Amino acid sequence: MQSITQIISPYNNHIKKIDQIILEFSKGKSPLIHEISTHLIKSGGKRIRPILLLMAADLCCQEIDAAVLSLAASVEMIHSATLLHDDVVDNSLMRRNQQTANSIWDNKASILVGDYIFSIAFQLMVKSDSLKALDLLAKTSSIMADGEVMQLENSNNIDIEFETYIKIIYGKTAILFSSACCVPAIIASKSEEEFLALQEFGKNLGIIFQIIDDILDYTATQQNLGKKIGDDFFEGKVTLPLIKLYQQASTQERDIINKIHQDNLMSIKNDENLRKIMDLIAKYDILTQCKQVVKSYKDKAIDNLKIFDDNSEKQRLISMLNHSSSRVK
């Protein structure tokens, strides 16, 4: 299987241009905007979402011109703005092995610069000269905010249904993957069938991406994950491993899980609590079950692409899918 470096290498020059577009919009503004924007660019990240947009453009035989690059930059800026806001909500201190903006500056600065980046993302969308593309990405932004609110509303509910969990991660993660994949079909005036196929492919890939993130919170090394192991757990996030564990645990074990979850919500960090949860996860083989869910969404994503000819452009999307479903960081 190809490494992520190999998969994205055809788009390296495009990504440099996208980074330049983002930094260009921060020049001449408040020094704080430029500092935080530069921090976001230099803090790493594979630019998965804009690369998916570029890959989908190639699949749709759409030239990667200034309009497409602007859309790709806007997708990355939407993602970056949500990261700034999420790190404030979660009180996160590390991301991608780097200090978060809110830990370097403060929460007020992160929120305000996040708002600024959101506004710039919409200015870039207009450059596509497509009202349909603008409408799609505007709706995407509102769905993402709704997903974050849904997660907050369910933070006390460890006994949520699987379907509710999927709705949450669709809003907070998968919708932007979905839109990145299907917006080129709008620009290229592809058929409704092709548009919907790319929309569903991106959604299923985004769901996979988030479930793998949930798994990595319990399995990855800090060097690979870019933050401390169990960060999501200690922040009280109700992720798929915890949902599946709670559904299968005994009454006595549920009481233990509930107590630990309440400790996390009150910011009572206890490594022994994490060890107890990980022991229970191992007891019920929860991570294997989570990987089976990933496999089911991967099968759906592959099926979504069947309407497209078998070519190198399609294979790049499949390679990204393969990487996303088996990544270790």
Residue 262, number of CB atoms within 10 A of its CB = 13
More confident residue, 75 or 26: 75
Mean local confidence (pLDDT), 211-228:
76
Residue 270, pLDDT score:
87
Mean local confidence (pLDDT), 273-288:
96
- If you average pLDDT over every residue of the chain, what do you get? 91
Residue 241, pLDDT score:
97
Mean local confidence (pLDDT), 322-327:
95
- pLDDT tier, 229 (very low <50, low <70, confident <90, very high otherwise): confident
Burial of residue 93, with CB atoms counted within 10 A of its CB: 0-12 exposed, 13-18 middle, 19 or more buried: middle
Mean local confidence (pLDDT), 168-185:
97
More confident residue, 129 or 286: 286
Q: Calculate ∠ Cα 16-324-290, nearest 5°.
A: 150
DSSP state letter for 159:
T
The CATH number assigned to the domain holding 57 equals 1.10.600.10
Residue 227, pLDDT score:
58
Asked which of 59-63, 108-112, 325-329 is least confident by mean pLDDT, the reply is 325-329
Residue 34, pLDDT score:
84
Q: Dump strand ranges (E) for the chain.
A: 94-95, 98-99
Residue 226, pLDDT score:
55
Residue 37, pLDDT score:
84
Find the domain containing 93 and state its range. 4-326
Q: What is the pLDDT of residues 198-215, one digit of tens each?
A: 999 999 999 999 999 999
Nearest C-alpha neighbor of 22 from the set 50, 41, 48: 41
More confident residue, 244 or 264: 244
Mean local confidence (pLDDT), 4-16:
94
User: What is the percent of the chain with per-residue pLDDT over 90, rounded to a whole number?
Assistant: 71
Q: What is the pTM of this model?
A: 0.94
| Count: domains in the chain | 1
Measured CA to CA, the distance from residue 163 to residue 152 in angstroms comes to: 16
Q: What is the pLDDT of residues 130-159, one digit of tens each?
A: 999 999 999 999 999 999 999 989 988 899
The CA-atom distances, in angstroms, between 120 and each of 75, 182, 245 are 11, 21, 42
Q: At what angle do helices 131-153 and 66-90 cross, to 10 degrees?
A: 10
Q: Evaluate if residue 98 carries a pLDDT over 70.
A: yes
Q: Evaluate if residue 221 carries a pLDDT over 70.
A: no
Q: Evaluate if residue 196 carries a pLDDT over 70.
A: yes
